[in-house]
Chain A
């Protein structure tokens, strides 16, 4: 039995993520419980953790800090127990060392890199809509095997310090990391829960890890 916890710290639409996990678990006969929770015990007992994120980076980090011991518990889960962890959108960005969104703010620092503003000539922000994620290597890339369109909504991107941690790239003004991964820790800049069947497929691959 899988226990998937979507970390609840006051970030926007987390219901869609829960519904999509329930849907794919059911469609694939995977026995899974999918919770939205910030309880330390739920984090401790989980087989998989999903960190969502919408809005400003610092608001999201502060939301995590508000629950005493939550970050420690997440550290334990991802870095010590090394269980599968997925950050979505700002949840992915929080894996970085720092973000430059409205000042400089510290992230979890699990995957080396900085969060920077997307830039390019006449580039509209946010980068909103469907765009192609192209896998950069086949190495421990369980999440996507082929290039596919996913739904993005963001203005900042993950500038990875180590190219080995980039699993897929997307072009908007510049090429940026749309999927990052390091051992058991994954992050997707797009919203798989809003990316139709290919998005659900990615979530399925994640809970199969």
Chain B
């Protein structure tokens, strides 16, 4: 059966890594290609770049970053952040990205999911959802988690699945940065009805959290940033640990 994927996520601003590996003497620690290569060499199953550039012009530099990465890194690459049109998607895929993740643009215009998945195939359209709990319900946030919407996360995820999303990248804003584990309650609720793969994101702090994300959250892939960047846990350790616990993992 298909294996659980471990995905490191790098924040890239104006073509440079701003949240990435902090523990190695990389020749150029700001170089996204070098960082992606390091993770690929160390067992990452996929790489995720999140473009946090503020201006539109600087988003073009992401296309160049992707092109350079495709020269060196031969595992799947997902690019997210600020993607708002079919043209954006086309440019990134053409440069060597395998998937794009859409967030705010889909909230503004859900039809972009349908259009993009029909045009490029749903396998390359990831919908990223940032969710936060209010009383008993999770709400969707847009614009990098800064704006609350009226959308209920569970309804929204079901809707984007129906519109043709190929995968869901679900970040818990309650858990993000806390190192207290994934929001397995939210993940498992989504897993109950989801027919496409689910990537868990936000909150991982130790090896058990990865395990719980699979067993309790029923996620298909686990995304993490800071625990990897600060070498608190290596990808190899995660994989060895999960394997010992009989989770299906790629060596």
A110 within 8 A of partner (CB): no
B121 touches A55 (CB 8 A): yes
The proximity string for A residues 124-153 relative to B, scoring 1 for CB distances below 8 Å and 0 otherwise, is 111111110000000000000000010111
Tell me the dominant secondary structure on chain A's binding face.
mixed
CB contacts (< 8 Å) of B251 on chain A: these are 149
Closest to A59 in B: B121
Rounded to whole angstroms, the CA-CA distance of A128 and B198 in the bound complex is 10
As a 0/1 sequence over residues 114 to 129 of chain B, the CB contacts with chain A under 8 angstroms (1 = contact) are 0000011111100000
Q: Give B246 Cβ to nearest chain A Cβ, in Å.
A: 16
| B166 lies within 8 A of A128 (CB) | yes
Q: With an 8 A cutoff between CB atoms, is A20 at the interface?
A: yes
Q: A126-B123, A128-B2 are in contact. Are A15 and B76 (CB under 8 A)?
A: no
B112 at interface (Cβ–Cβ under 8 A)?
no
**Contacting residues, chain B, for A127 (C-beta < 8 A):** 2
Number of contact residues on A: which range applies? 20 to 34
Q: Are B122 and A126 in contact (CB under 8 A)?
A: yes
A130 to B97 CA separation, bound complex (whole angstroms): 17
Instruction: Say yes or no: A124 contacts B195, CB within 8 Å.
Output: yes
Q: Which B residues from 1 to 24 make CB contacts under 8 A with A?
A: 1-5
Supply 12 further A-B pairs (C-beta < 8 A) apart from A12-B93, A124-B196, A126-B122. Answer: A13-B96, A20-B74, A54-B121, A128-B123, A128-B166, A129-B2, A129-B4, A130-B5, A130-B45, A149-B250, A171-B1, A196-B75
Binding site for A on B (CB under 8 A): 1-5, 40, 45, 67, 70-71, 74-76, 93-98, 119-124, 166-167, 194-197, 220-221, 250-251
Instruction: List 30 A–B pairs whose Cβ atoms lie within 8 Å, in order of A's numbering.
Output: A12-B121, A15-B94, A16-B70, A16-B74, A19-B96, A23-B74, A54-B124, A55-B120, A55-B121, A55-B123, A124-B196, A126-B166, A127-B2, A129-B3, A129-B4, A129-B45, A130-B5, A130-B45, A131-B2, A131-B3, A149-B250, A149-B251, A153-B123, A172-B2, A194-B74, A194-B75, A194-B76, A194-B98, A196-B40, A199-B74
